[in-house]
């Protein structure tokens, strides 16, 4: 019996040793022809990136390559941090206005969402904020990606958009007898707002998204009128802050933008009719502007074909040009800019088309790339984990053929390599 116990103990020790042997660290090495240092805003020639498991362990030249490391040769390419889009609706995209509203449930949306996450990741966007999805489809999608069941970017999600009765977050323009059964985040008054913020956080929201003003792609009369009072916006931000969450404010109109900034939101989404006072307030508060200045072209070209009412098309005509002009003013004044496209308003995977417009309307190519890397990571609150190719951060890395500083459209045309969390998804 004693001999049997000794043999059993030996066998167990052998198994444990075996587990240790076969769970050794894995190393991947990337040889980069040019590497974009997003924190300094410079390119460095001939760099080596050593990745241990899913984290960057060393960056530099003439580094010793670990034995048995997998080597990826990008010595003729430009290597950048994984791109970040701070304003997406990644669970869906429009196909037909009336059918989207009245014939599709959140189950329909959820079944198709994996198509859009894969396209987005393969376009080089390794991280996205999703800022508004019905019935917590975005939360479920994030969990599926994190579990490795679905291919997609790292997601930071808001859950359903919080809005006042009759707001951009409510079904407007239809008979009072029309009712769609879904989880409602319509909230009026400070007590309801506190409860809705808590509900979104309870069910998995990483941030809070609310409607400070009216919007374009809904049928309320105004395009930019404020839809919450100063007191209500203050409560929105205070409640979210108590739970450790940042707030993104959908805001087109001048007064609503200023109320949201005064309340302490982390970002103004859209910012179409911002004035000089609003720009100065954003600078004082350090508020980010996340302006979707590409999608005007797509909406005006395609949305009539998708059955959208002329009323909505007319609102877009009113907003698009002004938004771009005011974006230019904000850039010139030194407002902090983070990259956000409203992808889902136009096809997912085309996120990088916005870089051209950001450069056209005031950013340098370096600033545009920083807006989608280190600035975006700062806005989300994870600058210590993503946003640059630096030691200790996740191995989120993309590469393009050519020089994106000379031609920023290479990010949409010539992106040939995508790694997220140490795993290669496009090569």
Q: Could you give all domains of the chain from N- to C-terminal order, each with its CATH number? A: 23-82+388-426 (2.30.40.10), 83-380 (3.20.20.140)
Residue 16 has pLDDT above 80, yes or no: no
Look up residue 322 and give its two tokens: 């002004």
Residue 60 has pLDDT above 70, yes or no: yes
Angle between helices 254-263 and 230-242 (to 10 degrees): 40
Q: Starting at the edge strand that comes first in sequence, how are the strands of the sheet with 125-130 ordered?
A: 83-88, 125-130, 154-157
Judge whether 76 and 345 are in contact, CB under 8 Å. no
Going by C-alpha positions, the residue among 63, 152, 70, 51 that lies closest to residue 422 is 51
Residue 32 has pLDDT above 50, yes or no: yes
Residue 2 has pLDDT above 50, yes or no: no
Percentage of residues in the chain having pLDDT higher than 90: 83
Q: For position 23, what pLDDT does the model report?
A: 53
169 pLDDT band (50/70/90 cuts)? confident
Averaged over 313-335, what is the pLDDT? 95
Which range in 17-21, 307-311, 401-405 is most confidently predicted, on average pLDDT? 401-405
Higher-pLDDT residue of 171, 400? 400
Averaged over 378-390, what is the pLDDT? 98
Average predicted confidence (pLDDT) for the chain = 92
Q: Starting at the edge strand that comes first in sequence, how are the strands of the sheet with 397-400 ordered?
A: 55-60, 42-52, 27-37, 70-81, 397-400, 415-420, 423-426
Judge whether 113 and 83 are in contact, CB under 8 Å. no
9 pLDDT band (50/70/90 cuts)? very low
Q: For position 145, what pLDDT does the model report?
A: 98
The distance from CA 98 to its chain's CA centroid, rounded to whole angstroms, is 27
Residue 1 has pLDDT above 60, yes or no: no
pTM for the full model?
Answer: 0.92
Going by C-alpha positions, the residue among 70, 189, 209, 69 that lies closest to residue 138 is 209
- The answer to which of 36-40, 45-49, 176-180 has the lowest mean pLDDT is 176-180
Tens of pLDDT along 341-372? 999 999 999 999 999 999 999 999 999 999 99
3 pLDDT band (50/70/90 cuts)? very low
Gap between the Cα atoms of 145 and 18, Å rounded: 30
Judge whether 125 and 81 are in contact, CB under 8 Å. no
Q: For position 255, what pLDDT does the model report?
A: 98
Residue 18 has pLDDT above 70, yes or no: no
Averaged over 181-202, what is the pLDDT? 93
303 pLDDT band (50/70/90 cuts)? very high
Q: For position 53, what pLDDT does the model report?
A: 96
Going by C-alpha positions, the residue among 88, 29, 104 that lies closest to residue 60 is 29
Judge whether 208 and 185 are in contact, CB under 8 Å. no
């Amino acid at each position: 019996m004693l001999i049997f116990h000794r043999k059993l103990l030996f066998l167990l020790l052998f198994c444990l040793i075996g587990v240790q042997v076969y769970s050794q660290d894995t190393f991947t090495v990337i040889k980069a022809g040019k590497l974009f240092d997003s924190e300094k805003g410079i390119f460095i020639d001939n760099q080596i990136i050593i990745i241990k498991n899913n984290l960057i362990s060393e960056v530099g030249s003439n580094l010793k390559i670990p034995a048995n490391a997998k080597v990826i040769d990008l010595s003729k390419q430009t290597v950048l941090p994984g791109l970040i889009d701070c304003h997406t609706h990644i669970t869906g995209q429009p196909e037909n206005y009336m059918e989207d509203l009245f014939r599709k449930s959140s189950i329909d949306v959820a079944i198709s969402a994996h198509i859009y996450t894969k396209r987005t990741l393969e376009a080089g966007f390794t991280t996205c904020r999703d800022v508004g999805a019905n019935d917590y489809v975005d939360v479920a999608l994030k969990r599926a990606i994190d579990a490795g069941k679905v291919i997609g970017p790292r997601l930071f999600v808001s859950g359903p958009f919080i809005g006042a009765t009759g707001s951009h977050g409510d079904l407007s323009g239809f008979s009072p007898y029309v009712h769609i059964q879904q989880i409602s985040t319509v909230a009026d008054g400070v007590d309801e707002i506190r409860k809705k913020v808590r509900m979104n956080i309870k069910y998995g929201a990483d941030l809070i998204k609310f409607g400070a003003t009216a919007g374009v792609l809904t049928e309320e009369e105004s395009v930019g009128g404020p839809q919450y009072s100063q007191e209500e916006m203050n409560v929105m931000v205070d409640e979210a802050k108590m739970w450790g969450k940042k707030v993104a404010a959908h805001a087109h109109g001048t007064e609503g933008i200023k109320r949201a900034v005064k309340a302490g939101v982390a970002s103004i989404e859209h910012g179409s009719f911002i004035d000089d006072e609003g720009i100065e307030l954003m600078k004082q508060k350090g508020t980010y502007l996340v302006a979707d200045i590409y999608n005007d072209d797509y909406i005006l070209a395609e949305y009539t074909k998708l059955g959208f009412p002329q009323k909505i098309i007319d609102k877009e005509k009113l907003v698009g040009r002004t938004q771009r002009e005011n974006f230019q003013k904000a850039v010139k004044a030194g407002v902090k800019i983070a990259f956000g496209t409203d992808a889902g308003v136009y096809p997912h995977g085309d996120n990088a088309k916005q870089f051209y417009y950001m450069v056209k309307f005031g950013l340098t190519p370096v600033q545009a790339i920083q807006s989608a890397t280190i600035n975006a990571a700062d806005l989300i609150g994870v600058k210590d984990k993503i946003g640059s190719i630096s030691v200790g951060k996740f191995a989120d890395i993309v590469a393009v053929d050519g020089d994106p500083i000379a031609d920023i459209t290479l990010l949409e045309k010539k992106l040939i390599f995508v790694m997220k969390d140490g795993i290669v998804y496009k090569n």
